[in-house]
Amino acid sequence: MKLTDHHPSPIARERAGYRKRQTVRSVLVAAASTGVLGTLLVLAVTGSPGWERVRQSFLDPRIGREALPEILTGLWLNVRLLFFCALGALALGLLVAVLRTLRGPVFFPVRALAAGYTYTFRGLPLIIVIYVLTLGVPGLRLQGMPPVLILGGIALVLTYGGYLAEVFRAGIESIHPSQLAAARSLGLTYRQTMRHVVLPQAVRRVAPPLLNDVVALQKDVGLVSLAGPIDAVRAAQIATAESFNYTPYIVAGVLFVLLAIPLIAVTDWVTLRAARRQAAR
């Protein structure tokens, strides 16, 4: 018999078989309980006295098919807005986080301004920021005033930049001071230390909450429709006004959910990977 041959003992084979049976049993129980609960929910909803009226008002297939092309066109605007606003909010949040972590009395005004920004925009409701920038700022009649869509995007960037700044700052401050001291002792400047030592580790540590904020931003881009741009939500509102039926809103909601699923899946994968890496230490 070769030394490389390995035969599990009877106890090991019995343990592996028991685990396999338990896994199969757990899957079957989960599937059965989910099916039972889903059936009960469907029966409870469809058996209610007002179900037929709700179905006609919110789940009309004909109206949904008619409104779908316009809603999809508006959703493409939401996707583009999400892409650029996410990049802008991440960049602004990282900049503010770095400014808040500057040391020394000479940087106190910078830290105070950065802290005031985060306190203000984390406390202000997003809808108020959108109204101020899209309805108030154009009233100044300044030269080179950007369109309402860009002003709405700026409102999203300013608001979410405040949240992301705190996430980045938490990651930066989680790096042990000994790493900064070691980098400085090797001759690295403060800028080089932040770029090559601190920020790569900080961003990797806070990647899950950053992605969660991006998922939240994906929903809030629909609020830009309050200022007038025809995105998916505005297209659904127009279709509802024409048909006096709320099915277009359901169609828009389903499309937003489908848009969020890949982002949520990536977030869960990054979170699980980070947890495994932490457990392996």
According to DSSP H, which parts of 174-246 are helical?
177-185, 190-193, 199-205, 207-220, 232-243
Return the pLDDT at 1.
Answer: 45
- Which residue type is seen at 248? P
Measured distance CA(85)–CA(220) in Å, rounded = 11
Residue 217 backbone class (left: φ over 0; alpha: ψ -120 to 50; beta: rest): alpha
Residue 218 tokens read as: 């994906």
Residue 279 tokens read as: 């457990």
Measured distance CA(55)–CA(260) in Å, rounded = 25
Return the pLDDT at 197.
Answer: 87
Residue 128 tokens read as: 């108020």
Per-residue pLDDT of the chain (281 residues; tens, 9 = 90+): 455 556 777 887 788 888 888 888 888 888 899 999 988 888 888 888 888 888 888 888 999 999 999 999 999 999 999 999 999 999 999 999 999 988 888 889 999 999 999 999 999 999 999 999 999 988 888 888 889 999 999 999 999 999 999 999 999 988 888 888 888 888 888 888 888 888 888 888 888 888 889 989 998 999 998 888 888 999 999 999 998 999 999 999 999 999 889 888 888 888 788 777 766 66
Domains observed in the chain: 60-279 (1.10.3720.10)
Cβ–Cβ under 8 Å, residues 148 and 138: yes
Measured distance CA(84)–CA(146) in Å, rounded = 15
Return the pLDDT at 281.
Answer: 63
According to DSSP H, which parts of the chain are helical?
10-46, 51-58, 61-100, 108-123, 126-131, 148-173, 177-185, 190-193, 199-205, 207-220, 232-243, 247-280
Q: List, in order, residues 6 or more apart from 147 with CB less than 8 Å away.
A: none
DSSP 8-class letter at 135:
I
Measured distance CA(47)–CA(108) in Å, rounded = 64
Residue 234 tokens read as: 């505005």
Return the pLDDT at 269.
Answer: 86
